[in-house]
Amino acid sequence: MKGVRMIAQPASAAPRWPGPSGNEAALPRRWVLGGGAGGPVERAGYDRVLAATALLLVGFGVIMVYSASAIRAQERFGDPYLFLRRQALWATLAVGAMLWAMHVDYRRLQRWTPLAVLAALALLGAVLVPGIGVKANGARRWLRLLGLSFQPAEFAKLALILFLASYYARRADKLGNFLDGFLPPVLVTATFAGLLLLQPNFGTAMVLLVVAGLLGFAGGARLGHMAVTVGCALPLLGALMLATPHVKERLMALVDPARVSARAVYQVTQSFYALGPGGLLGRGLGDSMQKLFYLPEPHTDFIFAIVGEELGFLGAAAVVLGYGVILCRGTRVALRARDPFGAHLALGITAALVGQAAINMGVVLGLLPTAGVPLPFLSFGGSSLVFSLAAVGILLSVSQAAPDATPRGLPDPGH
């Protein structure tokens, strides 16, 4: 066009994310705060399929926690309903956290990101201090507050996702520069992962690294920079894993079970004994044999094995389908987000939830070494449940600002 000069943006600085723009004025009026900060917010409809799926998984998880833990709780504590009551309490608090998060303008979270990062780093550091952090099963991952255990790693996941989403939304044009654009999020991610590895908590560290890589790719980071970073990190990570005795043993149990002790493969072997007899329809709800003190942690990390034993292949497939729905709906929310921060935030949360579920189920199926990560929404534990549903609430908040039309960059299904 005459008189108009077109300037092409460098490909390295262009986000790979279709659709969202950073223009605040592009947001629909129903999402803009009325009467200044703190005024009422009128929103579009939230993603009901996503909300219903998450709540169904939580409700099913409460049932399975009771089924997997009742006999153990009766034997050890004299109360078969102990874990059921605790999980029901945490589920109530988690639903409250989800409702709160979905009614908060997600853009406000960007202001809280520095505080969240500092708090997460402080908590991860406190876990490592003897006398403050609680050590169990050879790992120091918990803090105890008012008689309740709290796992800072769950909060750290959300804090890092907030940081990366905010960073890539604000500095997309700088990512082509290694020192000024690409390196800062790498250093922050490495700090989080390093503190987790010191616990040691390799499973959560892997989730964070995968999410960070995905967000970096979506944000427009150079593939060469990412390849160099991965090439440098993998040898260090491998050396650290081999230098940690119980992690090395778990790796060997996956690669060559015959060369390790029976104790190293016991948990996975008992998981197979649970899944195998489950067949197509399962033994029946409450009729698991492996929960009778054969399978360790049947109501926490290995609850998926109890699902397979009691409800069979169809029950396990229904759980996998539930996470598939979360993957599809979460990705849809990200693609339809009205701004880069919302898009990256939704993508990171979706990847963290589904990625952790995939790691947990991979461990139960013997495809991955034992990682010690809970199954989101199903496993017993308050920290995982509260922060997982709070993350879903943030996804629902982003979905309420999404346009009703087909997102830019995607084909119109009507054509």
Domain extent listing, the chain: 55-400
Rounded CA gap, 223 and 221, in Å?
6
pLDDT at 43: 55
Token representation of residue 145: 């507050």
Q: What is the pTM of this model?
A: 0.85
At what angle are helices 245-255 and 223-243 packed, to 10 degrees? Answer: 100
pLDDT at 359: 94
pLDDT at 119: 96
Residues 6 or more apart whose CB falls under 8 angstroms from that of 330 comprise 50, 346, 347, 349, 350, 353, 354, 395
pLDDT at 245: 76
pLDDT at 403: 61
pLDDT at 297: 86
All residue ranges of the chain with pLDDT < 70 are 1-44, 137-138, 146-147, 402-415
Token representation of residue 9: 């943006």
